[in-house]
Every structure is written in structure tokens, then in C-alpha cells.
Structure 1
Amino acid sequence: MKMNGQICVTAALLSISSLSFADWVKDSVQKVEQQTIQIRQHIHANPELGNMEFKTSELVQRELKSYGIEVKTGFAKTGVIGILKGSQDGPVMALRADMDALPMPEKTGLAFASQVKAIYQGKETSVMHACGHDAHTAMLLSAAKILAANKDKIKGTVIFVFQPAEEGGADIDNFTQGDQIGSRKMISDGALNHPKPEVMLGMHVMAGMPSGNIFYKDGVILNSADSVRITLNGQQVHGSTPWLGRDPIVAAAEVINNLQTLISRRVDLSKGMGAVSIGNIHGGTAGNIIPEQVTMVGSMRSNHEGIRQSMLKQLPVMVEHVALANDVTAKVELSSYAPVTDNDKTLTALMTPTWKSVVGDSKLHLLEHNASPSEDFAYYGKLMPSLFIFLGATPLNQDLAKAAPNHNPLFIVDDATLKTGVEAHVRFILDYPAVAEKVQAAWKAKN
């Protein structure tokens, strides 16, 4: 009876302790909510394109230093690394946010809507945070502030990764120089070397998902993405005498049609999906002239690395043979943006209780299928166990089905969802050390 009584008392004390802990985190998040919103709206009104996030980078550095966090720069042109050492021993953990905006006009009508114009690929364009990176940056800054103020509660070291150019660079050829921007450049520049994290969390706000809700999935959560550029060269001739020339227009039509068989006839669809799309085609100057050259640019996506590699290997061969059949020449260029974003299964399972503590059972959703976009966060997942989750961005009083999607001029992020993202960041850092040993053991066994 005495032992049972002790167990009951211990359980009650643990329950009270857990409740107090939860209250402490939520109270801290609530206190910085207005600052989070203000920073997000400021960044939204002053967006910067990839590789050009100079003012955003300065803001991040200034805020981190004001929190007492060590700041390092010199990574990927505008990237910023913050380092916070907790008062207790433990793992090195990373949290990542992207900072860049998109080359497109804003049509939201918000009081803090962007009016900014900038140079993208040599041409002036409007600029908008149409993918929520302003929210990502603001949420991570607030999480950093809370963690810095409570470093006595942190077991280990926190690396805050503020990454540029997730959407591509404004000042380079993204097709041929993709490895010189974003996460790949952060990695190659040594941003994660000193100290080296053993785990990383990424988060993305998503339209069409309700504000304050978290969506997660183990395994593949985002597709891979690779670009293709095809140049077909024939022989220019008058449209009335096609036999005197070599027609790259007809060859281009056959190439586009045949590319679809890469998926429908060439890959094992029981393993996953794939898609090949040509989004840009250019050739000719007049309706009665068969041109000398046609260029096409497209993309390939898949949720399975084997299918991805099959497409990358077989596409050039197919195009070259179609060109040969039409007596034109072909040049095929491939450019990788990102592999499959693959959530570590052990990490995902062990962190699920953390997300429940943030939003509760009713607002936590396990996805049945991966999302179709792609993310260069995937490269971090090649180095360490990683986890990428979605945060709902659409206000609860709106029809989710009618919400303007990410990358749309009408895309919005409900500011009410920001506190959920801040808390998720903080709780990940506080909770991961308890499961670190199991996660790392599973990772080593797998790799």
C-alpha cells in the first residue's frame, strides 16, 4: 500500500510538473506573439529575392545578437547561423528557416502588402513573400528569443539556420549554378560544421490547411525536383517546302509526347509516382517559316528516388533518339533542384507527442500522402535525421478549398498561426534530447 501510494504521488507530481512546463512554454510564446507578428509583417512589406536578402539578413543578425546569441555569417552570400549553448550537456540541434521571396506582384490588399520591385535575372519585377518565408523567419527569431532567455532549461546546443535562396537566386543562372545557392551552398560553405548538428527541424506554412494546425508524415513528405532544358536544332526553310529543311517543331511535339511514356511505360509505378512537364517552349518567328531551333524547359518530379534516377537516366536517351528519327540534333541539359524530402521515421514517431503538446489531438494531422512540391531542405536530410512539418496558414473562418495557394498573388498567412510555429520550434529543442539516443542509433543502423 505504501509503495502504491508513492507511485500515485510521484505520478501526480510528474503530471503537475508537466503541466507547469507546458504553461511556461505557452506563456513565453504568448508574450512574444506581437513581436513575432510585427517582424513578420515588416519582412513581408520589405521582401527580397534569393541571394539578395541583405536587409533581411541584417535584421536577423541584429535580433539574434540582441538575444545574446552568437552569430556567424559568410555562408551562401546572405545566410546567417546563430549558436546558442544551453546550460546543460546534450546534443547539437538545428532549426531552419528560409528568408527569400518570389518575383511576382502582390494582390492581397493587406495593409502591409509589398510594393517592392527588384531585379530578377536582369529584369525588373515586383517582389512578394508568396510562400511564407517571412513567417518562417519571424517564427524562428521568436523561438530563438525564448530559448536564449531560458537557456538554463536547454540540454545541448541550438543552431539557428537562416537560409537564403530556397526559391532560387535572382542574380545567377539557376539552371547551371543551382549548387551555388540555398541549402547546398550553406552546406558547402561549412555553415553546419562548427558545431555540427545531429538533427534538424524544418517547417513550412501552407495555404488550404487551417491556421494553428500541424500536419506531419513519416518517410517521404515532398517530391524531388529536377529541371530539364532541351535544344533541338534543325534546318530553317520556308513553310511551303518542308522537305528542303529539317523541322524541329515537329520533333519537339514528338519529344513532348514521348516524354510522358517515361512514367507510364518505363518505371515501376508500384513504388511511387513521377511526372514530367514541359512548361516553356520557344521556336520560330513567323507562321510560314520552319525555324532552325526550338528550346524547351521543363521539370521532373517523383516521390521515389529509384523512379527519379530512372527518369534522369532515360530522358536524355529518349530525346536523342526522337531527334535522330526526325533528322535533327538534340542537346539535353539536366539540373537538380532537390532530391525527395524524406522524414526520418524514428524521429517522426518519437516527436509526435511533442506536436500533440503544442496543438492537441484535434489539430494534429497525419498525412496519408506526400505533398507534390519540392524543398531544398532535403539536402539537410542527407546529412542527419531530419523532420519537415507543415503549419496551417489559412484563417479558420475561410473556406479552405478556396484559399489562394502558395506562390499565388493572393496568398496570405494568418498571423494567428505564428505562435503555433514558435512553440513547435521551442518544444522540439526541449524534447529532442530525451529521444536523441534512440534516433541516432536508428540512423546509424540505417546508414
Structure 2
Amino acid sequence: MKKLSVFILCLCSLSTLGQNTDLKKLVSDKADALEKQVIIWRRDFHEHPELGNHEFRTAGIIAKYLQSLGIEAHTGIATTGVVGILRGNKPGPVVALRADMDGLPVVERTNVPFASKVRTTYNNQDVGVMHACRHDSHMAILMGVAEILSSMKNELHGTVKFIFQPAEEGVEPGEKGGAEEMVKEGVMENPKVDVIFGLHINSQTEVGKITYRPGGTMAAVNDMQIIVKGRSAHGAYPWSSVDPIVVSAHIINNLQTIVSRNVNVTENPAVVTIGSINGGNRSNIIPESVEMLGTLRALSTSDEKLLIEKVKLIATKTAEAQGATAEVTIPYSNHYPVTYNDPTLTAKMLPTLQATAGAENVVLRPPVTGAEDFSFYQQKVPGIFFFLGGMPKGGNAFAAPSHHTPDFYIDESGFTLGVKALCNLTLDYMANPN
């Protein structure tokens, strides 16, 4: 009886595998046919970008389209987020797929007919708005995935949850948003998500290629504020002061020893950067205090803890040694955990990416000291976040305009691979969730 049960299980597995092969051929055909429409969606989003927590037009377009596909759509999550739920006709796991929606306060300088001319107010300043990190393409790709998978509803072994997330790039001071708020508002529940996949297009990776990394792939980020308090004096009589500017200079120099002398950089990189220093308003007045703002980046939770402890110790003790005080706040306004690709899941799904793009086009990449709030989803369930090539073939990665700049540019021919990859990851995981 036991042998018979095993035999039946094997037959069922072979049947599912054969069925999945047929579905993936259908995915490829449908994705190729959808290429022009995905580009149209992307160009529309690009021409009409919206900042974090203000993606009202964007969210409306997405929700309406999901509903037209027969997908259950929920709106207003974490302000402007949209979640689509596609319930397959067969039992199985819940697979979440995520795309971010927000643009950046950047004035576009590219010479394309659909360039953004949008302006708005951000942090009390008049700014341009641009999809300078290609969230426009992420949304368009996921809409293509939704169309294809919804057409296969009768064959799906499980449920797909399409997460269109606002404010990945952050929000104005005093606001809340992004993946952390989506999680708090229950996006990973009802139905409970088992696994999540996401991608990010990259302007310095050639079209047709996918890059990935198991474990820590993007850094944890903490911003910080250091306020150094001394004693004010006339600039002509510095001996009457406890000069917070000089103390701050010593703190900045001493902070550089954290990475060079405390972090094992053979395992993971780390970053300690002071990006702003403000104090005083005249050349002949030593001020009473100085404010410094900076960022910390780490690829493991242990290194993240180390950086925070060392910054606090160095800043306070350096100030104390010179008769001043230092108040350190970490995080100051934002914190993202490490974007951590579950190693077991990554190894399991790597063949899917290789079969989709070609094994030679799926490349292991070094860790990135940039950060992504996709990490908040990965704190709840295993997930994979990978990178999709967007640089024209034969391009120079060092010359390609980088993300978050006015000249940022993406080759649209890479979108179809993104559609196929997310569809195939979903189908293969549903076929073998354990």
C-alpha cells in the first residue's frame, strides 16, 4: 500500500511538471505579445510621476486594470497602496509579487517624448518629479504579470497577491509610508503570504541579464543625527569657548575608523557617512552647537548593531574628551533592515531564473550598499529580490547614468524578461512549495 502511495505521488508530480512546462511556454508567448502594452503603461507612468504617498492617479489606473482582469483589488492601503488578490482554482500556497510606485523629486533631463514635466512641492520646496529609479517599469511589468496569470486562473495551484506599494523612496518629514506601513496594515495576511518575489531594474546591467545574491543583498540603513554642544565665544577669543566645530571635525575623522578597524570587510562591506554638517552663522562667532546628519549601511544585523554602538561611543567620548557633549539619535527618521534573500529559497528558485533568462545570463552579484524597503516583507516570510538588466546591449556600465539622477535612462526591451521571470517564479513555486 505504501509503495502504491509513493507511485501515485510520483505520477502526480510528473503530471504537475508537464503541466507547468506547458504553462511556461504559454507565459513566454503571452509576455512577448504583451511587450508593446507593457511599454505603453510604463511610458504613461513615466510621464505622470507622483511622489510617495501621493500616487493617487497611479493607484487609480492600477486598481481599475486589476478589476478589469477579474482580480479582487483593495485600495488605500498605507495611503495609496493597491493590493490585488488572484485566487487560483486549485489549492496551494500564497505567492506575493511586489512593485513600487513612487517617483523622486528630480528634474528630468532625458530627451524622450514622454519625459516628465511634472512639478510639485516637496519639503516646502518647488521640485520636479521623475521616475528616476524606474518604479514606472516595475509597475508596468507587474501589470503584465497580472494579465498573464489571471488568464491562467483555472490552472493556478494557489493564490497570487499583487502588491503595488507607495513610498519606497520615503516620505516627507512627519509622514509614514512604504513597505513598513503596508506590513503594519496587514498586507501579508488575509490570505497569509508564504513567499514573496520582487525585482528592481538596473541601468548598469545589460538588457537580458538577471543578477542576484543569496543572503544579504542590499544594506540595512539607519540615518543618524549627532548634536555637538559646546560653549559659544567670540571668534577672536577661541580659548573662551568649547568649540563644537572643532569637536565635530574630530568626531567625523574618528568615525572613519569604524569601517577601517572594526568591521570585517572580507565578509561584508559597511558605510559610515556624514552627509550634512550645520553650525554657526557668522565668521567671527564660535557657535554653541553643531548638527551633523549621516547614514549607516550594513549587510548583516550584527554589523548594523556594531555600527550603531561604535558611532554612539566614539561621538560621545570624543566630545567628552574636549569638554563638549554629543547627543546621538539612531535611527533619526528612517530605518530599513537588510534586504536578505533566503539562501534555501534562492537555491531552490535559481533554476527558474536560469531557465527563463539562460544560465549564462543569470549572474551572481556582489552586495549593494543601497537599501530597499522590500526587506520589511522579508522579515515576515522568505523572499527573493533580484535585479533586471536595463542598460542597452554593449553599453558601458561606468558611463550609464546612475539611478536617482536627471539623466537616468532604461532600455525598454528588458521588460519582457521581467514579466517572464516573475510569472515563472510564481508557477514553479506553486508547483513545489515544500
Give the TM interval when normalised to the shorter protein.
Answer: over 0.9
Q: 1:5-404 counterparts in 2 under 5 A?
A: 20-170=22-172, 172-173=173-174, 180-335=176-331, 336-367=334-365, 369-404=366-401
Gaps of 5+ in 1: 1-11, 438-447
Tell me the C-alpha RMSD between the 2 structures: 1.9
Q: Secondary structure at the match of 2:79?
A: coil
Pair 16,149 (structure 1): closer, same or farther in 2 beyond 3 Å: closer
1:157 aligned counterpart, secondary structure: strand
Farther-moved stretch of structure 1 (18-27 vs 96-105): 18-27
TM-score normalised by length of structure 1: 0.90
Kept in 2, the 8 Å contact 1:273–1:304? The answer is: no
Q: CA deviation at 1:16?
A: 8.4
Conserved? CA contact 2:52–2:168, under 8 Å: yes
Change in CA separation of 1:343 and 1:329 when aligned onto 2, cut-off 3 Å? same
Equivalent in the alignment of 2:11: none
1:266 CA displacement: 3.0
Whole-angstrom distance in 1 between the partners of 2:71 and 2:24: 24
Quote the Cα distance in structure 2 between the aligned partners of 1:282 and 1:76: 34
In the alignment, the residues of structure 2 paired with residue 109 and residue 279 of structure 1 have an alpha-carbon distance, to the nearest angstrom, of 31
Corresponding residue SS for 1:401? coil
What's the offset of the Cα at 1:271?
4.0
Aligned length: 419
Normalized against structure 2, the TM-score is what? 0.92
Conservation of the 8 A alpha-carbon contact between 1:153 and 1:430: no
Query: Matched residues in 1 for 2:388 and 2:56: separation?
Result: 27
Q: Structure 1 residues 235 and 70, CA, compared in 2 at 3 Å: closer, same or farther?
A: same
Aligned to 2:6: none
**Aligned partners of 1:328 and 1:126: how far apart in 2?**
41
Distance 1:286 1:349, change over 3 A: same
| Structure 2 letter corresponding to 1:33 | E
- Cα 1:33–1:270, aligned 2, differ >3 Å: closer, same or farther? closer
Shift of 1:19: 6.0
Contact map agreement 1:273 1:307 (CA 8 A) in 2:
no
2:405 is aligned to 408
2:17 & 2:240 partners in 1: Cα distance? 85
Change (3 A) 1:334 1:37: same
Secondary structure of the corresponding residue to residue 160 of structure 1: strand
* Deviation digits for residues 57-98 of structure 1 (CA, Å, limit 9, x no counterpart): 111111111111001123211111100001111101100000
C-alpha separation between the residues in 2 aligned to 1:108 and 1:268?
41
Would you say the 8 A contact 1:271–1:304 is kept in 2? no
